[in-house]
Structure 1
Amino acid sequence: MSSDAMDAYWQLQPLARTLATAIFITSIGGHMGLIPMEWLYFHSSVAIFKMPPQIWRFITTFLLSSPKLGIILDPYFVYQYLSQIEAGNPKFQRKEDVLWYLITVSGIILLLTQYFLGFEPFLLGALIMALCYTGSQDQRGMKANFFFFTVPAQLVPYCMLGMSVIMNPAALPQQICGLLAAHLHDFLVRLWPEFGGGRNWLATPAFVSRLVTTPRLLQREYGTGIRPRTQTSGSSTGASTGSVLPDSWRTRGTGHRLG
């Protein structure tokens, strides 16, 4: 990959590019047989009651795309909708708010699918629907392209449901769960506090903020740099350079012996 392509990659929205890349790599590994599928899917008995707990399944269940063309399209849709949320959604002012949104919406999707649908091994379709709903609701009055059609932005999730009715009805229940999860998140975070006078039940906790805004992480135009640790021993003593003279003396020259 050329340096220009790498520069363009690192200039993408960080959370969106990380999730889309993880989906792309996991999907290639899973569909090509490089990663066993039984290591990825979520099931409560496997993830919780087995020792040691296989907690990675809470994440990997959202990382496997549909086969063939879905390996390209699913990461694309994830990046498109999540970058809209990350870059210009007024409900998510900070990166930690977007990260907490992903955690909470994914948890709601897991609960809804387990309760209403039973065993659903992979839930990326529900997550894409949730991202689409959240990203489009604050674009009312704007137009969006849905394949070859131009529709009001807030109707894109329902266009996706209509497309599933025609092309893939089996995906419809999972997408409805994703839509409900995103709507419930919007109600608890925005609608209920603003119009109902209640509190935000899904406010971003402090530990997520500390995780994202670690002092040793430097936010750059692209990529992430790590701030070097400060030296505890001062260099003015000359101990770190092997000289017994202080810095102010060592700048005077080599010195000469008198007498």
Structure 2
Amino acid sequence: MSSEIMDAYWAAPPMARTLATAILVTSISVHFGFVSFVWFYFTEDRLLRFPPEIWRLATTFFLSRPKLGIIMDPYFAFQYLRDLEVANSRFPRKEDVLWYLITVGGFIIFLNRTFLGGGFFLDALIMALAYTATQDQRGIRSNFFFFTVPAQAIPYCMLVSSLLMSPAAIPLQITGIVAAHLYDFLSRLWPEFGGGRNILATPRFVSYLVQTPRVLKRDYGTAIRQPNAPTAGSSTGASTGSVLPDSWKTRGAGHRLGGN
């Protein structure tokens, strides 16, 4: 049974799997008192000291709400990031999904630190993921708890549920919608309908981050690739069709788990 669970875990899309795991581990560690939250929250002065605590740019999105949030927040983060990673034509490559997370995360931090304050922004990120994942699903019906609603209404259903259970989270969630809409406007609406250019195109350095690492894992040993050595297919002009590190590819095919 445990091996089946682990097989399903490693077969999940890598970015969605990693984000959900980071949220779950961080939230359990903080809410059960194993680690102090002061290591994870975002504040500008921590970035300006030496050495800068740059990990806070990521960990500010890792802490869920307590109690039921420890389960539900990783679930929603996994569900909507999975939809972007494996079922959205706007993000055909892994680096496109990574750049989306970097860009929208930056927008969320800027909006909150400018207008609201606070140090943890997971609610905003989940809302942004839900908004982006459902914009291209018009005409599709999706399940939200016990209700079936139009897919594009999911973010607003989440706002209504927060109004009933956690009203204080609504301003933070709204910044997630604003950040996702800003990304959509700058990367798609403005180039397609305004005649401008996509200023949020995925830069090359992000593609480099997800390329095969220097040490290549093989079933029959380990090969060390020289820094300037051609990768598989590069000498013939062929493409391997994937930019994932080998350590990810050996874990499974990344099929979707279940459905909405």
Q: Do Structure 1 and Structure 2 share a fold, with TM-score over 0.5?
A: yes
For residues 106 and 226 of structure 1, do their structure 2 counterparts lie closer, same or farther at Cα, with a shift above 3 Å needed?
A: farther
Aligned residues of 2:214 and 2:225 also touching (Cα < 8 A): no
Return the structure number with greater relative CO, CA threshold 8 A, min gap 6: 2
Partner deviation per Cα, 1:101-120 (whole Å, 9 max, x = no partner): 001100000000011102x1
Deviation sequence 1:83-112 (CA, Å, 0-9, x none): 000011111010000001001100000000
For 2:116 and 2:105, the matched residues in 1 are separated by 15
Match of 2:152 in 1: 154
Shift of 1:2: 2.3
For the residues of structure 1 that align with 2:119 and 2:214, how far apart are their CA atoms? 38
| Partner residue, 1:3 | 3
Give the Cα–Cα distance (whole angstroms) in 2 for the partners of residues 56 and 122 of structure 1.
13
- Is the alpha carbon distance of 1:73 and 1:218 closer, same or farther for their aligned partners in structure 2, counting shifts above 3 Å? farther
Q: Distance in 1 between matches of 2:137 and 2:225?
A: 46
| Paired residues for 1:36-185 under 5 Å | 36-45=36-45, 47-118=46-117, 120-185=118-183
Deviations 1:43-89 (A, max 9, x none): 112x2222221111111110000011111110000000000000111
Q: Which whole-Å CA distance do the structure 2 matches of 1:163 and 1:197 have between them?
A: 38
| SS of residue matched to 2:85 | helix
TM-score by length of 1: 0.82
Deviations 1:212-255 (A, max 9, x none): 122657799xxxx9961269xxxxxxxxxxxxxxxxxxxxxxxx
Distance change (3 Å), C-alpha of 1:138 and 1:218 = farther
Q: Following TM superposition, by how much is the alpha carbon of 1:187 offset from its aligned partner in structure 2, in angstroms?
A: 0.6
SS at match of 1:151: strand
Paired with 1:100 and 1:226, the residues of 2 have a C-alpha distance of 33
Q: State the alpha-carbon separation in 1 of the partners of residues 9 and 41 from structure 2.
A: 29
How many pairs does the alignment contain?
226
Q: Distance in 1 between matches of 2:3 and 2:163?
A: 43
> Could you tell me how far apart the structure 1 residues matched to 2:217 and 2:178 are?
34
Question: For structure 1, which runs of at least 5 residues remain unmatched after alignment?
Answer: 232-259
Q: Secondary structure at the match of 2:149?
A: strand
CA contact (8 A) 2:31 2:66 kept: yes
Q: Is the 8 A contact 1:216 1:227 kept in 2?
A: no
Structure 2 match to 1:190: 188
8 A contact 1:100–1:208 mirrored in 2:
yes
What RMSD in Å do the two structures reach over aligned CA positions? 2.2
The TM-score, its normalising length taken from structure 2, stands at 0.82
- State the identity %: 63
Q: Give the superposition deviation at 1:206.
A: 0.3
Conserved? CA contact 2:80–2:130, under 8 Å: yes
Please give the alpha-carbon distance, in whole angstroms, between the structure 1 residues aligned to 2:214 and 2:7. Answer: 23
Whether the 8 Å contact between 1:26 and 1:63 is mirrored in structure 2 is yes
